Structure 1
């Protein structure tokens, strides 16, 4: 089953995009991780930060499918090696799309094409609500939410 989320954020597409891909934005929103990639179609990407394997733990990695700044970012992703033994076999697609609606930005996230019986699927469903709520708060206030993680 596909996961789909839509948020309206009181900020420009550039501000939302920056939160999604810049080192400052991803560190604030994604557990201190930085998104590393050349962002070319077909290039690898990884969210890297502190974790099970020290300061350079790969939390999620994969391949860039689409990258159009301030509009769309789509990847095939795998869980980091320290999280799942079969990480290379487990995948899903994540697609972030930004649209201007009045003076706001509509962010649509679709997380689909899950490997059958993917062990992270259920946890991801609830985590995205928190991460996207945090992104909305971050863009609108410059602060993140404290979920006690």
Structure 2
């Protein structure tokens, strides 16, 4: 089976440090992502993407592969089904480039199986998540929850 990658670039009217902190701050990730990303954020450490609804369900987990605050983060990415019988995991690279007072954010989600449900979820999910993050940082509020039902 062939592997693909998904790339998404956004420009945010916020500093790279503010964007970086929003990727890890549980209060912010709950607002724009509906999840908390838990880890000690050290290379080799486990990370988990946990629903913020109190259920403590892990929708994704993996390892921190690289971290260079506030510019670069690389994670392995495994959905629960991959933990139960599958061994395939994908990889997410997040790069932040300072553009004065603004930031270019680039997400590359790679090693996705061609035509898979994961590829479809990623190609619809990342734009919604990053757009919601951008809106929160630029306006102080998130987008209407209807963006999630559109996916």
TM-score by length of 1: 0.86
Find the aligned partners of 2:110 and 2:134 in 1 and give their Cα distance.
22
Q: Would you say the 8 A contact 1:78–1:88 is kept in 2? A: no
Is the 1:6–1:106 Cα contact (8 Å) retained in structure 2? yes
Partners in 2 of 1:80 and 1:17 — Cα distance?
26
CA contact (8 A) 1:98 1:107 kept: yes
What do you get for the CA RMSD once the two structures are aligned? 2.0
After superposition, where does 1:53-132 map in structure 2 within 5 Å?
55-81=55-81, 86=84, 88-115=86-113, 118-132=116-130
CA distance in 2, matches of 1:96, 1:85: 23
Aligned-partner Cα distance in 1 for 2:55–2:121? 24
Question: Where in structure 1 are there 5+ consecutive unaligned residues?
Answer: none
- Match for 1:28 among 15, 21, 31? 31
TM-score of the aligned structures, taking structure 2 as reference length: 0.85
Alpha-carbon separation, structure 2, partners of 1:38 and 1:87: 27
Tell me the secondary structure at the aligned position of residue 40 of structure 1: coil
Higher helix share: 2
- Confirm whether residue 44 of structure 1 aligns to residue 46 of structure 2: yes
Regions of 4+ moved over 4 Å: 84-88
Deviations 1:44-94 (A, max 9, x none): 00011256xx6110011001001112111110111135xx67475242111
- C-alpha distance in 1, partners of 2:61/2:13? 30
- Residues 116 and 4 (structure 1 numbering): CA distance in 2 closer, same or farther, change over 3 Å? closer
| Structure 2, gaps ≥5 residues long | none
Q: Is the contact made by 1:79 and 1:90 (CA closer than 8 Å) also made in structure 2? A: no
8 A contact 1:80–1:87 mirrored in 2? no
